[in-house]
């Protein structure tokens, strides 16, 4: 069904990068772990090292999952905006190609959620 806006409606984009005070929105999703029902969104500085994303941002959010302590970080498979990539941990998000509203997905081989249920 088509939607028709009323006369005088102005579409205001509220998630423009300019609205985040030097930060950019970065979405992070842990594949096969649906205890987190959607990608988590974080306002992060583009200069943040990728390792800081893992240790300072992802760890506090995802660490309460029982699989988190079992992650072999050397074996993690990463995707950035739908493409496989290998992050350089000591380089910034920007230098790794992470942009405003990027989606980072990570898959942990051998870990499929609580008792293999993908939860």
CB count within 10 Å of CB 103 equals 16
pTM of the model: 0.88
Longest Cα separation, the chain: 56
Residue 10 is assigned to a structural domain of this protein = no
Residue 79 is assigned to a structural domain of this protein = yes
The CATH number of whichever domain residue 61 belongs to comes to: 3.10.20.560
Q: Which domain holds residue 72?
A: 22-114
Task: Report the length, in residues, of the chain.
Answer: 119
Residue 87 is assigned to a structural domain of this protein = yes
What is the C-alpha separation between 80 and 103, in angstroms, rounded? 6
Q: How many domains does the chain have?
A: 1
Give the pLDDT confidence of 59-88 residue by residue, as tens digits.
Answer: 999 999 999 999 999 999 999 999 999 999
Report DSSP state, residue 15: -
Report DSSP state, residue 57: I
Residue 119 is assigned to a structural domain of this protein = no
Give the pLDDT score at 119: 83
Residue 93 is assigned to a structural domain of this protein = yes
Task: Return all residues near 104 (Cβ < 8 A) that are at least 6 apart.
Answer: 26, 27, 28, 29, 53, 78, 79, 80, 98
Residue 6 is assigned to a structural domain of this protein = no
Buried b or exposed e, range 65-89, using 16+ CB within 10 angstroms: bebbeebeeeebeeebeeeeeebee
The more confident residue out of 118 and 9 is: 118
Residue 5 is assigned to a structural domain of this protein = no
Q: Is residue 15 over pLDDT 90? A: no
What is the C-alpha separation between 82 and 64, in angstroms, rounded? 26
Residue 56 is assigned to a structural domain of this protein = yes
What is the C-alpha separation between 97 and 62, in angstroms, rounded? 23
Q: Which two tokens stand for residue 48?
A: 């943040």
């Amino acid at each position: 069904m088509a939607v028709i806006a009323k006369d005088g409606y102005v579409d205001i984009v509220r998630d423009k990068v300019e609205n985040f005070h030097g930060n950019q929105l970065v979405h992070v999703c842990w594949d096969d772990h649906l205890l987190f029902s959607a990608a988590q969104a974080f306002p992060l500085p583009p200069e943040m090292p990728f390792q800081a994303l893992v240790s300072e941002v992802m760890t506090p959010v995802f660490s309460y999952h029982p699989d988190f302590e079992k992650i072999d970080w050397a074996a993690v498979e990463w995707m950035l905006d739908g493409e496989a990539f290998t992050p350089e941990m000591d380089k910034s998000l920007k230098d790794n190609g992470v942009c405003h509203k990027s989606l980072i997905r990570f898959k942990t081989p051998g870990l499929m959620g609580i008792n293999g249920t993908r939860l």
